[in-house]
Amino acid sequence: MTIAVLAIQGAFAEHEAVLTRLGVDFIELRQRRDLEQHYDGLILPGGESTVQGKLLRELNLFDKLKDQIVKGLPTLATCAGLILLAKQLSNDTLTHFGTLPVTVKRNAYGRQLGSFYTEEDFGDLGRLPMTFIRAPYIEAASPKVRVLAKVNGNIVGVKYINQIGISFHPELNDDTSIHQMFLEMVYNQ
Ligand code: GLN
């Protein structure tokens, strides 16, 4: 099994460290020719979604990656990655892949003071550590979307067919269960 990590901006190295810990092979997606390699799953890391969206288009990665996600490539998207997947943004006119039928609010906890740590239940995984950094949350989700986690009543984790979208940064804590859940999805694909 090989996981492709979008490595154009943001917290990709932290996701790669988790994959290394779990003994999973990965490749980095940095330029168009990287998309010619074989991979079974995709990680869209946190960072700055506006910059990532711009680079995805400039580097000519956008259309093929979107097509792969639409066709079922298992995808784990965290923070800015969730913003890239969202069909709608409540406080931004620009959308990106738009493959996940949710409405996301960027910088939903405020820009500067919006970073915090908490622990909450996540799907069937029990209570997990959650580190939020200028994070978005999900304001509304299509009934077809499974809500996995809420913090203070706001949705912070969802699953929709092959896409897992998370507001926080699971790669910044020692707990690897979200990555393992994603890898299981890739394995069962
Ligand atoms: N605030 C960032 C954005 O809007 C997301 C923050 C993050 O990925 N940690 O893209």
Give me the CATH number covering residue 159.
3.40.50.880
| Nearest atom (ligand 1) to Cα of 52 | 10
Residues of the chain with pLDDT under 70: 111-113
Q: What is the pLDDT of residue 112?
A: 64
Integer CA distances (angstroms), 189 to 10, 41, 67, 153, 186, in order: 27, 9, 17, 32, 5
How many structural domains are present in the chain? 1
- Does pTM top 0.95 for this prediction? yes
Q: Whose CA is nearest to atom 8 of ligand 1?
A: 46
Q: Are 107 and 79 in contact (CB under 8 A)?
A: no
Q: For residue 129, list its beta bridge partners.
A: 119
What are the start-end ranges of the H helices in the chain? 12-21, 49-58, 62-70, 80-85, 177-187
**Nearest partner of 21 among 179, 155, 184, judged by Cα:** 179
Domain that holds residue 139: 2-188
| Distance separating alpha carbons of residues 183 and 189, to the nearest angstrom | 10
| Nearest atom (ligand 1) to Cα of 47 | 8
